[in-house]
Structure 1
Amino acid sequence: MGDLFFNKIAGVIIGGILAILVITELGHMLVKSHAAEELTAENTAYPVDWAALESGGSASQEAVIEGPTDYALLLASADIGAGERVARRCQSCHTFDSGAADGTGPHLWNVVGRAVASVAGFNYSGALLELGGDWGYEELDGFLERPSAYAPGTAMTFAGLRDEGQRMDLIAYMRSLSESPMALPDPLPAAAPETVEAAMDETMDAMELPAAQDAPEPTETPVDEPAPADGH
């Protein structure tokens, strides 16, 4: 029992530990390979609407949720003071006072309800000249959200306001820049209960749900009737 004996024992112990580590690592690799397997329509147990999952929801659901914008409701709760603070971002190109000269952009006094590209003497881009119409609430909302998308080719370099609340505050402030502000729009009529119910039915019909299995018809267990009693 010299040094060689103890070296053999140490070698056996180290070899066993290495074998355990190798087996453990192989097990982890096999488990990861199964866990990372991509889900597809072929290896799922239940029918899945993959297009709806990729888009975040069905088109019918989005149509019901979005609906038209009620500008009367939004503008009634808008903050004119906050809109004035938002308008400071525009002061490098626009003026807001009555009778003020144009800047890089046209003056914005009395802009709400004004015809598009109608300030005399201002050199508008072709995109706005072709746009036509008036700067109503819906038009201002669309243009302020993203000018380059609403009027492709516009010379206005402002990226836009993504926040709807800020847009409503700004529009409410610009509406106040007038001796006779444009009337607020009428509120949208509330949806009738039967209309909401019909929309919900359409949404449910559009959803793909697994077919329910027919329940077995109940069977009747015969019950022995008591024998009639003997008459006396």
Structure 2
Amino acid sequence: MKIALLRPFLFACIGALSAGPAAADMVSKLIKADLAKGERVFKKCKSCHTTDAGRKNKSGPNLFGIVGGAVAASPNYKYSKALIEYGGNWDLDRLDAFFTKPKSEVKGTKMGFAGLKKEADRVNLIAYLNTKSDTPIKFDAPAEQASSAETAQEDYEFGVLFDAPGVEETFYACGACHSEMIVAQQGLTRNGWEEMLEWMVDEQGMSEIDEPDYSVILEYLSTHYGEDRPNFPKPNNLNQTKETE
């Protein structure tokens, strides 16, 4: 499969990325990746990571240039010994394996994220991160987009959380570290949610949520998961969630 590169000297790099049948299969999937969906998936990561060039590290390293780049390469970030020893480059297959289950791919990594179960989420995320580079890999022209009917039939992706403005921001901010069910179980006042978010930052190492997302999330939580928990998931919804996991 022909792959066009933005810079001639990257032929050697892409050769490493696409070597072997597994990587070739990943390339074929990346050609069809949805960058907008990849950016949405990254919302699970942005509480700990930045992606733009020159941005500071947060609780996790800056990810600019990660696709095809060296492992543990973000300046001034203290990586775990395990990741440093993992070494090498972040080729497509390694990224896919790491994003699937970080602690299995790199035993001893500091990253607490559980991973992305859905292959489509991983592919879209890798494609999105590929754009965050001075020398992104340019794949062949994407295939035709799925029809609007097919898009409409996609599964609801926010688990047991109530579908209302703010659900997306809440799902990705909270789902980076735990299931959305933990969010739905709380039942706190607005002040209680504010204190909870402050505690997560001060005591649990969560990065601060930037505006406007912070206000959107706080409004969503206090409205739909207040003391009376008006949208606490019913048993049949819980069973449906388990069946799709």
Structure number, greater radius of gyration: 1
